[in-house]
A and B are shown apart, each in its own frame.
Chain A
Amino acid sequence: MSRNLRWGIGLLLIAGLLLGAFLFLPFRSWLPGGTVADLPNREVVNGTNFNRLFPKPQPGEQIVFTQEKRGFSQARLKQGTDLRALLSISDVASAPASRNKFMHSEERLQSWPLVDQGSQASALLVADRFQVKVIGQGNGLDVQQRHELLSAFDLTALAALSPQAQAPAIAPGREKALAPGKASPLRLPFPGLGRKAPQVQPSQARVPQPAVLPAYPRLIRATAALEPAA
């Protein structure tokens, strides 16, 4: 009996150590929570691609890049030593909520929806995927200047970066090229966690209404049945 007990304790210890190692040591970067909104990095367009789309500086101005991450790139517009504005391009895949503000916007700039946020920020949603934003700094910029800056970005090239724009050319060929077993490569040690991510795909998040409603057909039918009675 005592021998069994010893074996049990030993096995328990080993299991505990393994579990601890798995959770805390080199596997940590595989666990969820590493990326923004738990979206796999490969589904977010890299900020490097945005750099060349920023406006070209006018004489006397200078563009200094300050941040470049997955799905984000930011630069400062300076005139001499004065900071004039923060210019940025971000991939809204990791921030789906930022799309909502464009839904009711009437204004358009080069046919893309335009929104003013507060007194110093203007944002543009390009190809339903990329948010271009100008935030006035220092002495500030008026609306006209901000909109001019927004249109100085290379918006057509930016729209072409969107996966939807590239999808028809690449997707069918790619699906055939992959072996059946490799069609959906395993990214995480926990398969269940890995599959959660694609739910937040831009194509689905763009039209939330039809995606959400069919999930509760019974509820809709129930409310529909109630209405005539009331």
Chain B
Amino acid sequence: MSATVLERLERLPRRNLTVLALRGISTLVPGGWQNQTSPDELISDVLGSDDPELVLQVRARADQLSRARHEGYRRALSLYDAVNRSQKAAGGLRVLANVAGALPLVKRLAVLTPASQTLQAVDLSLKVAAEMLAFTQVNGLPGDSFAAFTDSLNEYAGEARVRMAALVCFDALLPLGDNALHRLDGLLGQVSNRDLHQLPSYAGMASLLPGRGDAAHMGFLRRGVDHWLGWADGFVGDLGLNGQRAVRALETTIGPWHGGMEQLAMFLDAFTDTYSHTGVQAVARRLVERAAAEI
């Protein structure tokens, strides 16, 4: 038996590069961010009371819910894990290519890795797709109409503001430049089936995407990104996010950075798990909200 959602929450790091990066980016978002890793604190926060017996009951119910496969809470986490693994693989590959590019003997390796920008675009679209799949796993299809569902999506995105800010900054603005969101569709259009198969990120996620075959998967990714772009554009405009501000925000916590933005993005990809870290926290909160209502 693998760990329940709350156990995963408990095991999240309290202070490491991931937490520092998130803390840095949270200075751009009003409301800030708290690294919530204690299930008991989360439960008493949702319940508005720290009666130990109630907390214990909620926790038992939450564990029961997360053990039930059809409820989807753990499936959402496995989606985040798959994305995280692929992000690390892609990041590692690019770090390797960067290093190898500087060494005369292995220079040829650098040529083998796919073009950085398309790789990044697909990586971002995979994350957006995983976000939507995880949303339906965790929340079902709430509401009676499409409008209610969209409200619910926006509510979720608003709640996970820091998570979304991290996604936008680390995976779009830093590696692809400030007009990343407008270029994204074009970049995805350039991805051929052969490119797709070269990506470690795609291999890890292919079985989790709906539809059969690469064309169907690509269609799903592009539609998902399309939907998300509408929201993300407003979000970036509201908060005034751009690459420069993101770098400055990150420098407040992880120290001065002298390289380019693209290198920073690559470094973050290879050495942090911001996406699955905040993912576990988001799923845990929804799970506890349900458990508190059911005890």
A residues touching B (Cβ–Cβ < 8 Å)? Answer: 28-29, 33-37, 41, 47-48, 51-52, 64-70, 72-76, 86, 88, 90, 92, 94-95, 97-98, 117-121, 131, 133, 135-137, 140
Bound-state CA distance A101–B155 (Å) is 32
Bound-state CA distance A137–B51 (Å) is 16
Give the Cβ gap from B158 to chain A, nearest Cβ, in Å.
Answer: 8
Q: Is the interface of B mostly helix, strand, loop or mixed?
A: helix
Q: How many A-B contacts if CB must be within 8 Å?
A: 113
Task: Name the contact of B293 in the complex, choosing from A35, A52, A90, A119 (C-beta under 8 A).
Answer: A90
Assess the A67–B69 pair: CB atoms within 8 A: no
Interface string of B139-151 (1 = CB under 8 A from A): 1111110001001
Assess the B68–A121 pair: CB atoms within 8 A: no
Bound-state CA distance A137–B138 (Å) is 21
Question: Which residue of chain B lies nearest to A52 when distances are taken between CB atoms in the complex?
Answer: B144
Q: Quick check: is B231 within 8 A (CB to CB) of the other chain?
A: no
Size of interface on B: residues with Cβ below 8 Å to A: 33
Bound-state CA distance A72–B295 (Å) is 12
Assess the A67–B290 pair: CB atoms within 8 A: yes
B residues touching A (Cβ–Cβ < 8 Å)? Answer: 46-49, 51, 54, 61, 64-65, 67-71, 138-144, 148, 151-152, 155-156, 286, 289-290, 292-295
Sample of 16 A–B contacts (CB below 8 Å): A51-B142, A51-B143, A51-B148, A66-B139, A66-B152, A66-B156, A67-B286, A68-B140, A90-B293, A95-B61, A95-B294, A95-B295, A98-B295, A118-B47, A121-B49, A133-B293
Assess the A34–B70 pair: CB atoms within 8 A: yes
Assess the B143–A65 pair: CB atoms within 8 A: yes
Task: Name the contact of B68 in the complex, choosing from A33, A98, A140 (C-beta under 8 A).
Answer: A33
Assess the A135–B46 pair: CB atoms within 8 A: yes
Quick one: given A118-B47, A140-B48, are A34 and B155 in contact (CB under 8 Å)?
no
